[in-house]
A and B are shown apart, each in its own frame.
Chain A
Amino acid sequence: GNSVTQMEGPVTLSEEAFLTINCTYTATGYPSLFWYVQYPGEGLQLLLKATKADDKGSNKGFEATYRKETTSFHLEKGSVQVSDSAVYFCALRWVDTGRRALTFGSGTRLQVQP
């Protein structure tokens, strides 16, 4: 079945450091890929997405490229801020008999220190 594997956290960085959070997936066909962010005490918010190979999703300085050959969708940001501290979830969706459910990774907590 479909699955998503994320690097374990927490990831602790200083402000303005470069961020990479690794995400790899296992899926049949060509899933759509997503990154969601969860700030403390809140629900998940869509951060960025990509629907086909070599697509690059971007938002708020974050980027991720859909790499079919390595089945990866790593999240990157060139310079993190304290306000980026949150839990980040990689997810995929493959339209499986119309279910349209997202499969999530286990989440990676990012802590950015001033």
Chain B
Amino acid sequence: DTGVSQNPRHKITKRGQNVTFRCDPISEHNRLYWYRQTLGQGPEFLTYFQNEAQLEKSRLLSDRFSAERPKGSFSTLEIQRTEQGDSAMYLCASSLGAMTGGRETQYFGPGTRLLVL
């Protein structure tokens, strides 16, 4: 069990550019979550996957955001036409949800810090 990994750890981009982040969950975890954390705030839920199906999206996830989880393994979060307001830490978490019949712990990755200039 190597934990949740995220790449890149840091990304600096210019306004209007597209960026893509990757998350590799703990193997065999069927659930994967994306959160966004701005400075001085707690993480806010963006979206989550059960296996390859994206089952819920927050209203925070504008049309410029898209997330995928092909084959139910790693996930990518893409932001198109970035804006300065997108600057934040993007956190990924995974868990063994539901299948064991109880609430499961979410394990978080180190995050990707995005700065939009």
Same complex for A and B? Answer no
A interface residues with partner B (beta carbon < 8 Å) = none
